[in-house]
Amino acid sequence: MHDCYTIYTRPHSHHNSTMPELPEVETVRRGIEPILLGQTIERVQIRRPDIVRLSPNQTPTPSRPSQRQRAAALLAGKTVQSLERLGKQLLIVADSGQCVCVHLGMSGSLRSPPHISPGKPKSATGTGRSSKPSHRTNLSRSSRSHLSPHTHIVWHLTNGHRVMFTDPRRFGGIWTYPDHATLIANRWSKLGPDALVATPAQIRPKLQRTTRPIKAVLLDQSVVAGLGNIYVDETLFTARIHPLTPANLLSSLQIRKMVTAWHHILAQAIKAGGSTLRDYVNATGDPGWFQIQHQVYSRAGQPCVRCKRPLDKLTVAARTTVCCTKCQPMKFRRGSD
DNA sequence: AACACCGCCTGAGCGC
DNA sequence: TGCGCTCAGGCGGTGT
């Protein structure tokens, strides 16, 4: 056995690496659910207070909440009742009704390192896997605690387990609310339907009232929640839609194909993540979804899997975009062309 | 109201 | 090989 059961970790190489999107967040949710559900949080370690944004009514002095107020908002002393997800956002709900909304941003992760029972010595790694040694320095100390300089929050459970929020780039964050209704009113009401269950009927009206490029619209979390750069590119390739197509020009058939495509792609990625979670996470920390072959993302210049022509790279909505202009033609000619 | 754009961050990867 | 530069990107906030 390897020495660290990692519920979720990011791949270390940038080249094929991905920011956490919906499948990764769902994998995290399923991973920490058995650890957190019904458990009481004994204390919360807050190593970077500014990563946590309290709801205004959770502190009398919003500008400078006390350590105690922050810990209370992060469910110190509370029992976890459920774990929810909407799009890329994860929600921890306590039996008090309090909610902690976690956003992983670009580089965030939630990990639950193994609980080491006091009397039982840890066995050395025994698999024949020949992996390069961990890049972590000072393995004996920092690796055992699983803390990195970028571990901002640690929840300590009464059962001895820990859940840690780590986010080197700090594009992510944690938002706390006194109850579910406040979370909805202040945050989740701004999101569209979750991508996993969104229907063409829900999406269509939102597309018809804008001429923005379809890619920009799909990245907009208020239209559909959970799609990011990778999955939008993959979706549009599968549905054979050019990313610059004005959203209002898409046919009903195209919209249906598009929604079906992302359902399928997201489900595949979750399945891969889930299967890896069941087995374990390999020594390099690559979760299962990492093994998924992307058809276009990060493949600019490489041959299109469909027509073998080099894939095109362009910028849409200030995002790097890869597509095959042959396989993803503009369905309609635009006036300015 | 709808939309564009800025700035926040760090590490991977590249060129020299 | 090593150093420093560029790029990547979700999204909250601000400006048009």
Domain boundary among A190, A213, A245: A190
Same domain, residue pair A145 and A205? no
Q: What is the pLDDT of residue A56?
A: 80
Asked if strand B comes closer than 7 Å to A252 Cβ, the answer is: no
Domain boundary among A143, A163, A190: A190
| Selection from A21, A24, A57, A2 nearest residue A235 by Cα | A21
> Is residue A24 flagged as an active site residue?
no
Residue A231: pLDDT band (50, 70, 90) is very high
Pairing of strands A173-177, A162-166: unpaired
Could you tell me which residues come within 8 angstroms of residue A22 by beta carbon, excluding any fewer than 6 positions away? A85, A87, A88, A194, A195, A196, A226, A227, A228, A231, A266
Q: Report CA(A297)–C1'(C5) in Å, whole number.
A: 25
The identity of residue A255, as a single letter, is I
The SS3 call for residue A257 is: helix
Tell me the nt nearest to A14, Cα to C1'.
B12
A307: in domain: yes
A334: in domain: no
pLDDT per position as a tens digit, A144-199 = 677 889 999 999 999 999 999 999 999 999 999 999 999 999 999 999 999 999 99
Same domain, residue pair A247 and A281? yes
The SS3 call for residue A331 is: coil
Angstrom CA distances, A207 to A86, A241, A246, stand at 21, 14, 9
A279: in domain: yes
Same domain, residue pair A136 and A94? yes
CATH number of the domain to which A150 belongs: 3.20.190.10
> Is residue A240 flagged as an active site residue?
no
- Positive or negative, the Cα torsion across A128, A111, A32, A219? negative
DSSP state of A214: H
CATH number of the domain to which A277 belongs: 1.10.8.50
Query: In the numeric block, which tokens belong to residue A134?
Result: 């961990």
Residue A58: give the domain boundaries: 22-190
A300: in domain: yes
Residue A325 has pLDDT above 50, yes or no: yes
Tell me the nt nearest to A135, Cα to C1'.
B11
CA dihedral A140, A143, A144, A146 (to 10 degrees): 160
Same domain, residue pair A139 and A92? yes
Residue A20: pLDDT band (50, 70, 90) is confident
> Is residue A162 flagged as an active site residue?
no
Q: Report CA(A146)–C1'(B3) in Å, whole number.
A: 43
> Is residue A20 flagged as an active site residue?
yes
Element (H, E) at A43: strand A41-46
Angle at A83 between CA A78 and CA A87, to 5 degrees: 135
**Roughly what angle, to the nearest 10 degrees, separates helices A200-208 and A252-279?**
130
- Which nucleotides of strand C are protein-proximal, with an atom < 7 A from a CB? 7-12
Angstrom CA distances, A214 to A221, A291, A296, A316, stand at 13, 27, 17, 9
A205: in domain: yes
A213: in domain: yes
pLDDT per position as a tens digit, A101-129 = 999 999 999 989 887 665 544 444 333 33
Same domain, residue pair A248 and A183? no
Query: In the numeric block, which tokens belong to residue A263?
Result: 């359902």
Q: What is the pLDDT of residue A273?
A: 78
Q: Which of A10, A78, A88, A187 is catalytic?
A: A88
Q: Report CA(A334)–C1'(B11) in Å, whole number.
A: 40
Domain count, chain A: 2
Q: What is the pLDDT of residue A132?
A: 36
**How much helix, strand and coil, in percent to the nearest 5, is found in chain A?**
30, 20, 50
Could you tell me which residues come within 8 angstroms of residue A15 by beta carbon, excluding any fewer than 6 positions away? A298
Q: How many helices (H) and strands (E) does chain A have?
A: 8, 11
Asked if strand B comes closer than 7 Å to A170 Cβ, the answer is: yes
Higher pLDDT, A327 or A141: A327
Tell me the nt nearest to A16, Cα to C1'.
B12
Same domain, residue pair A300 and A205? yes
pLDDT per position as a tens digit, A291-322 = 567 899 989 999 999 999 999 999 999 999 99
Same domain, residue pair A36 and A173? yes
A282: in domain: yes
Same domain, residue pair A226 and A121? no
Residue with CA nearest B3 C1'? Answer: A212
Q: What is the pLDDT of residue A128?
A: 35
Asked if strand B comes closer than 7 Å to A212 Cβ, the answer is: yes
Residue for token pair 């920092």: A142
Same domain, residue pair A269 and A145? no
A333: in domain: no
Same domain, residue pair A136 and A241? no
Could you tell me which residues come within 8 angstroms of residue A144 by beta carbon, excluding any fewer than 6 positions away? none
Q: Mean of the pLDDT values across residues A246-253? A: 96
Same domain, residue pair A146 and A275? no
Domain boundary among A190, A215, A244: A190
Residue A99 has pLDDT above 50, yes or no: yes
Same domain, residue pair A88 and A179? yes
Q: Mean of the pLDDT values across residues A215-225? A: 97
